[in-house]
Amino acid sequence: MTSQVAILGAGVMGETLLSGLIRAGRRPEELLITERREERATELRERYGVDVVSNVDAAAKADTLVLVVKPQDMPDLLAEIAPAVRPSQTVVSLAAGITTGFIESRLPEGVAVVRVMPNTPALVDEGMAAISRGAHCDESHLELAESLLAATGRVIRVPEKQQDAVTAISGSGPAYLFFVVEAMIEAGVHMGLPRSTATELVVQTVVGSAKLLRETGEHPTVLRERVTSPGGTTAAAVRELEDHKVRAAFLSAIEAARNRSRALAAE
């Protein structure tokens, strides 16, 4: 008998995981999804050939329950599924800020809960996910979560106390980089470049720079220094970034994301 994985809440992140599992070779019969809105359920059923069921049916049938609703929707979802959940199942939560203790306290005693922080580059199999064990997890539960997330990119294990910082760095991180990309494209347009030219220049520069970081393993400071010719253009630009306190702004922004993650479970 095949082990079933149910994704409860198939919005942006839930669909990202679903599509990754299918690309990695999981058969639609091994997957179940739940959705609140009928039109979204129909769209996903047609796109992936998966069954869309109620939360209670998913909790009753699947061996692994992956919770991908917004943190604010988590209390209601847990109250709904708790009567159907059994200690033999594994619960994997992708919600920002929601601790394993929060989930364990709302489910039957002994259920293994793994907390995961993924990110959207998982859509192109370049995701970064960090996983943490709850009180009732053993190695097999962590391996199960790793095998799910490894379908869409890299996976590391972190102590749960680091998850709010992880959320602020790699969970939200793609948005900061897209923000920088937007700003660079706008700068090109401002200087008279056609938008399509500016976009191609910036996107390939980001892809190339990421590859350079990954493939050389060099520290980013070293790579930045190699671009910075004495008395040249880059030095002029970096001076402006420092004058405008962009480094300090990143620190404050990422601390704000960490603090927001900490606050989410209390809402």
Ligand X SMILES: O=C(O)[C@@H]1CCC=N1
Binding site for ligand NDP (CB under 6 A): 8-9, 11-14, 34-37, 40, 55, 68-71, 73, 76-77, 94-96, 117-120, 171
Please report, as residue ranges, which positions from 42 to 81 form the binding site for ligand X (by CB under 6 A).
none
Distance (Å, whole) CA 10 – CA 68: 7
Check binding of 31 to ligand X (CB under 6 A).
no
Instruction: Report, in Å, the least distance between residue 171 CB and ligand X.
Output: 3
Q: From the list 85, 167, 169, 198, which residue makes contact with ligand X (rule: CB under 6 A)?
A: 167
**Which residues, in sequence order, are CB contacts of 113 under 8 Å at separation 6+?**
90, 91, 92, 93, 100, 103, 104, 107, 134, 135, 136, 137
Sheet holding 64-67, edge to edge: 51-52, 31-34, 5-8, 64-67, 90-93, 112-117, 127-133, 153-157
Please report, as residue ranges, which positions from 196 to 255 form the binding site for ligand X (by CB under 6 A).
none
Check binding of 96 to ligand X (CB under 6 A).
yes
Check binding of 152 to ligand X (CB under 6 A).
no
Distance (Å, whole) CA 263 – CA 34: 26
Quote the tokens at residue 256: 């704000």
Q: Is 259 annotated as a binding residue?
A: no
Distance (Å, whole) CA 36 – CA 39: 9
Q: Is 55 annotated as a binding residue?
A: yes
Check binding of 129 to ligand X (CB under 6 A).
no
CB 170 within 8 A of CB 153: no
Q: Is 8 annotated as a binding residue?
A: yes
Instruction: Report, in Å, the least distance between residue 117 CB and ligand X.
Output: 7
Q: From the list 171, 198, 258, 265, which residue makes contact with ligand X (rule: CB under 6 A)?
A: 171
Nearer to ligand NDP, 116 or 142 (CB): 116
Binding window for ligand X (CB under 6 A); candidates: 84-92, 164-172, 189-197, 213-221: 164-172
Check binding of 16 to ligand X (CB under 6 A).
no
Q: At what angle do helices 173-190 and 195-216 cross, to 10 degrees?
A: 140
Q: What amino acid is encoded at 89 in this protein?
A: Q
Distance (Å, whole) CA 17 – CA 68: 9
Check binding of 153 to ligand X (CB under 6 A).
no
Q: Which does 68 bind (CB under 5 to 8 A by kind): ligand NDP, ligand X, none?
A: ligand NDP
Check binding of 172 to ligand X (CB under 6 A).
yes
Alpha helix positions (H), the chain? 12-23, 38-48, 55-61, 74-81, 100-104, 139-149, 163-166, 173-190, 195-216, 220-227, 233-243, 246-264
Q: Is 232 annotated as a binding residue?
A: no
- Binding residue ranges for NADPH: 55
Q: Which residues of the shown chain bind ligand X in the complex (CB under 6 A)?
A: 96, 167, 171-172
